[in-house]
């Protein structure tokens, strides 16, 4: 079985400008979404605060939970229905933003309030997460640093293994992927937390895979046909590796879909980020990373020589 017939020859390079337009549109969409929502929707990890996830054995209305917690002075606490899975009762997320420098023991307050209204055995705590403001801002900076460092390191690696222009192309493509994925997360209103950052770093690693494979083929074809214009070589290389690119992304997307739909709520945002990131990463390897090499050749590099 074959997906891409041998000898297929799409003119990817000629569509560079159209692809750029498409990419800018995606980035703009993400930025608009971020602006409208007033910045990234930081989870507890980065914003600080307390999150308590409770599961009731019986189906329970959100209003009852709200009433139970009303007696507490929790300020801007939000209670979110986290999916009542039918016969298995109801689940809720209680979120309390951080107040001041020190953390009160909100989880203890929530627990005792629930106990006094619902008794002891009809519910249980699934998860408690508390992050202080110092830890939160520390984690935020480390996350930004990690993503930037990974992107630059990939660029440098490719620069060493190939050439500077390939490295630049890869780094630009990676920034592109991360930006669009963050935009998509904002559009879908997922929270930014540590697992999302882990997913972003994985996207960076995966996306650079495709770029490396194409660059590798370009180098090989350059050696074989020294006379051909770079444009033609890039096009041919992308076409020759297209089958592999689509297959690998395809199998990865298959398991990610399984993870997204079956992996459970906790891992949902993680799977979503990988799904979007991998698809965008594949697209950018084909339409952005390699054409940039050509673009650099035609402008700055040509003049420098």
Stretch that binds other proteins, among 9-17, 181-189, 223-231, 243-251 (CB under 8 A): 243-251
Q: How far is the CB of 262 from other proteins (least distance, A)?
A: 4
- Nearest residue (CB) to other proteins, 16 versus 68: 68
Q: 24 to 53, contacts with other proteins by CB under 8 A?
A: 53
List 118, 190, 192, 270, residue binding other proteins (CB under 8 A): 270
Please choose, from the candidates 77, 105, 104, the residue with its C-alpha nearest in 3D space to the C-alpha of residue 93.
77
Q: Which of 47, 94, 114, 131: binder of other proteins (CB under 8 A)?
A: 131
Nearer to other proteins, 21 or 144 (CB): 144
**Nearest distance, CB of residue 146 and other proteins, angstroms:** 4
Residue 146 engages other proteins in binding (rule: CB under 8 A) = yes
Q: Is residue 225 within the footprint of other proteins (CB under 8 A)?
A: no
Q: Which stretch binds other proteins (CB under 8 A): 24-32, 33-41, 135-143, 175-183?
A: 135-143
Region of 16-24, 179-187, 226-234, 244-252 interacting with other proteins (CB under 8 A): 244-252
Which of 62, 80, 105, 298: binder of other proteins (CB under 8 A)? 105
DSSP string, the chain: --SS-TT----TGGGHHHHHHHHHHHHHHHHHHHHHTTS--B-HHHH-EEEEEEEESS---HHHHHHHHHTS--SS-EEEE----GGG-EEEEEEEE--SSS---HHHHHHHHHHHHH-SSSEEEEEEEEE-HHHHHHHHHHHHHHHHHHHHHHHHHHHHHS-HHHHHHHHHHHHHHHHHHHHHHHHTT--B-HHHHHHHHHHHHHHHHHHHHHHHHHHHHHHH-SSS-HHHHHHHHHHHHHHHHHHHHHHHHHHHHHHHHHS-GGGHHHHHHHHHHHHHHHHHIIIIIHHHHHHHIIIIIHHH-
Binding residues for other proteins restricted to 70-89, rule: CB under 8 A: 71
22 or 216, CB closer to other proteins? 216
CB within 8 A of 43, min separation 6: which ones?
Answer: 51, 191, 192, 193, 196
Shortest approach of other proteins to residue 61 CB, angstroms? 22
From the list 61-69, 73-81, 181-189, 249-257, the region that binds other proteins by CB under 8 A is: 249-257
| Site stretch for other proteins (CB under 8 A), options 11-19, 60-68, 225-233, 253-261 | 253-261
Provide, rounded to whole angstroms, the least separation between the CB of residue 27 and other proteins: 22
């Amino acid at each position: 079985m074959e997906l891409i017939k041998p000898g297929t020859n799409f003119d990817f390079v000629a569509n560079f400008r159209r692809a750029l337009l498409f990419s800018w549109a995606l980035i703009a969409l993400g930025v608009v979404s971020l602006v409208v929502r007033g910045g990234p929707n930081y989870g507890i990890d980065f914003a600080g605060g307390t999150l308590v996830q409770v599961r009731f054995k019986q189906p329970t209305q959100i209003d009852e939970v709200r009433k139970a917690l009303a007696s507490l002075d929790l300020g801007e606490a939000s209670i979110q229905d986290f999916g009542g899975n039918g016969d298995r009762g109801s689940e809720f997320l209680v979120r309390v933003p951080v107040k001041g420098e020190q953390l009160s023991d909100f989880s203890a307050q929530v627990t005792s309030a629930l106990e006094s209204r619902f008794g002891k055995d009809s519910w249980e705590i699934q998860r408690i997460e508390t992050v202080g403001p110092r830890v939160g801002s520390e984690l935020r900076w480390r996350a930004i640093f990690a993503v930037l460092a990974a992107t630059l390191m990939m660029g440098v690696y490719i620069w060493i293994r190939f050439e500077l222009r390939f490295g630049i192309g890869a780094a630009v493509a990676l920034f592109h992927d991360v930006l669009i994925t963050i935009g998509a997360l904002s559009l879908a209103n997922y929270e930014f937390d540590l697992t999302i950052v882990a997913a972003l770093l994985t996207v960076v690693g995966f996306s650079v895979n495709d770029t490396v494979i194409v660059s590798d083929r370009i180098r090989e074809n350059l050696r074989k046909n020294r006379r051909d214009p770079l444009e033609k070589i890039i096009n041919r290389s992308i076409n020759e590796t297209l089958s592999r690119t689509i297959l690998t992304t395809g199998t990865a997307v298959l398991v990610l879909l399984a993870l997204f739909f079956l992996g459970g709520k906790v891992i949902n945002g993680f799977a979503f980020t990988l799904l979007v990131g991998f698809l965008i990463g594949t697209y950018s390897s084909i339409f952005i990373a390699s054409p940039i090499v050509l673009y650099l050749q035609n402008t700055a590099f040509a003049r420098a020589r």
